[in-house]
Structure 1
Amino acid sequence: MPQIASAALTAIAAYLLGSIPFAVLSSRLFGLADPRTYGSGNPGATNVLRSGNKKAAILTLIGDALKGVIAVLAARALTHDENLVAIAGIAAFVGHVFSVFLRFRGGKGVATAGGVLLAMHWPVGVATLACWIFIAATTRYSSAAALVSALASPFLTAWLFPQASWVVAVAVMALILIWRHWANIGRLFSGQESKLGKKKA
C-alpha cells in the first residue's frame, strides 16, 4: 500500500478511536448529568470528578488514556515505521480534542496524551506522569499540572526518545493542550480556577 494511503488510513482509524467520548459514556452508565452541562463543561475525567462520582471519573480517565495507548500499540503492531506510529498517536489525541461524535467539541486531551506517551516510550510517559502528579499534589490544580507537563513533554521526548517524528508530534500535542487550557490560564492568574475534587454547584 502506498505510504500516503497508509498514513491516511492510520490517521482516520486512530482519529475515530480517539473520538470515543468516554466522559459522556461513563456519565450515562452511572446515571450522571452530561459533563458538558456543569463545571468547566469539559468532557474529561477532571470535570466528571466534579459530579462527586469517583468511579465514573476513574472509568473516564482509563478510557481516555487507553485510546492513546491502543492507537500507538496497534499501529506499531502493524508497521515498523515510527512515522506512521506517530501519526496514529497524534490522530488519536486530535480525535479526543475534536471528537466527531461531539460535533468536534471534545476534551482537553490530557489523559489521551498521557496514554500516547506511555505507549510511545514508557520512560517518557512515566516522567511526564510524575511531573503531573507532583504539580497536582502541590497545587491541587489539574490545569496547572497539565500545563507544566505539556511544556515538559517535548523536552523529555527529545531527551529519552529522540526520534524526530515523535518530538514533532509531542510538541504539537503540547501546543494544542496549552491552547485548550487558555481559559484555565486566565483563571489561574485571577485565582478563580477550581481545585481538584471540588464538586459542581
Structure 2
Amino acid sequence: MIVAVLVLAYLLGSLSFAVLVSRVMGLPDPRSHGSGNPGATNMLRTGRKSAAVMTLLGDMAKGWVAVWLAAYAVTRFGLPHELVYGAALAVFLGHLYPVFFGFKGGKGVATAVGVLFALSPMLGLVCVLTWATVFAVTRISSLAALVASLVAPVFAYFMMDNAAVAALAVLTVLIFWRHRANIVRLLAGQEGGFKKKSS
C-alpha cells in the first residue's frame, strides 16, 4: 500500500499541465520556446494568460491531491504518518522528472505550492505571501520562488514536526537545483523580470 501511494503520487506529478494545456489550445510546446521550462511563467510568453492560469492551477492541484490522498490512506489504513511527506516528495519529483514526458519537467514551484497548502494551509499562505512580497519589490519570479522555498522549512520548524521540516528542506534543495541557471543569472545581475504596468 505504501509503495502504491508513492507511485500514484509520482504519476500524478508526471502530468505536465503546461504540455497538456499547450496541446489542447494549439500552442507551441513550452519546452521548445521561451525559457524551455514547462511551467506557468513560460506559458505567459505565449501571450495566452488563460493557458498560464490553467497550467498554474493544474500543477498546484496535482501537488495538493497527491498529499491529500496520502493523508487519506494514512487515516484509512493506519499507515505511517511520514507517508504524507513521502508522497509530497514523490509528486514533486514527478513534476521535475515526468515519466510521461521523457523525464523533462518543470521547476516545481506551482506543485510545491499545492503541496504546502495540503500539508498546512497556514504554511502555504505564509510562503505565498513571501513570494508575493519579494516579487512585488523585485519583479523577478525566480528570486521570489527561491526566497519562498527557502523560508518554507524555516516556518515549518515552528508549525510542524521534524519529518515535515526534513521533507521541505529536501524540496527546497531540489528547487534550488532546478533554478541553478537562474541563480547564476541572478548573481550576474542578468536575470530578467516582469515590468510594472504603466498607469
What TM bracket, shorter-length normalisation? over 0.9
1:75 matches 2:73: no
The one-letter amino acid paired with 1:23 is: A
CA distance in 2, matches of 1:24, 1:13: 20
Equivalent in the alignment of 2:22: 27
What is the DSSP-based 3-state SS (H/G/I as helix, E as strand, rest coil) of the residue aligned with 1:86?
helix
TM-score, normalised via structure 2 length: 0.92
What is residue 64 of structure 1 aligned with on the other side? 59
* Counterpart among 180, 183, 197 of residue 182 in structure 1: 180
With a CA cutoff of 8 Å and minimum separation of 6, indicate the structure with the bigger relative contact order: 1
Displacement, 1:167?
Answer: 1.1
Structure 2: which amino acid aligns with 1:107? Answer: G
Aligned mate of 1:196, from 181, 187, 194: 194
Does the C-alpha gap of structure 1 residues 102 and 76 become closer, same or farther in structure 2, counting only changes over 3 Å?
Answer: same
Counterparts of 2:194 and 2:26 in 1: how far apart (Å)? 22
* C-alpha distance in structure 1 between counterparts of 2:32 and 2:144, whole Å: 24
User: Is contact 1:118-1:125 (8 Å) kept?
Assistant: yes
TM-score by length of 1: 0.92
| Equivalent pair of 1:46/1:196 in contact (CA under 8 Å) | no
- What secondary structure, in the 3-state scheme, does the structure 1 residue paired with 2:103 have? coil
Moved more, 136-145 or 57-66: 136-145
Q: Which residue of 1 aligns with 2:117?
A: 118
Q: Which residue of 2 aligns with 1:8?
A: 3
RMSD: 1.4
After the TM superposition, which parts of structure 1 deviate over 6 Å for at least 4 consecutive aligned residues?
none
Q: Which residue of 2 aligns with 1:3?
A: none
Following the alignment from structure 1 to structure 2, what is the Cα–Cα distance between the partners of residues 106 and 197?
27
Deviation per residue, 1:131-181 (Å, 9 max, x gap): 0111111111110011101111110111112x1221111110000000100
Q: Which runs of 5+ in 2 are unaligned?
A: none
Question: Does the 8 A contact of 1:143 with 1:181 survive in 2?
Answer: yes
In structure 1, give the amino acid aligned to 2:36: G
What's the CA shift string for 1:59-95, capped at 9, x where partnerless? 0000000011000111111213320111111100110
Corresponding letter in the other structure for 2:189: G
In the alignment, is the contact (CA less than 8 A) between 1:132 and 1:148 conserved in 2? yes
The residue type paired with residue 4 of structure 2 is L
CA offsets 1:13-52 (integer angstroms, 9 cap, x no match) = 1000000010011112222100011111000001111111
**Deviation for aligned residue 1:107:** 0.4
The answer to whether the Cα contact below 8 Å between 1:14 and 1:92 also exists between their aligned partners in 2 is: yes
SS of equivalent to 2:173: helix
Aligned partners of 2:136 and 2:73: how far apart in 1? 39
Alignment partners' CA distance in 1, 2:10 and 2:195: 30
Q: Find the partner of 1:47 among 42, 62, 68.
A: 42
Equivalence map 1:134-153=2 (5 Å): 134-153=133-152
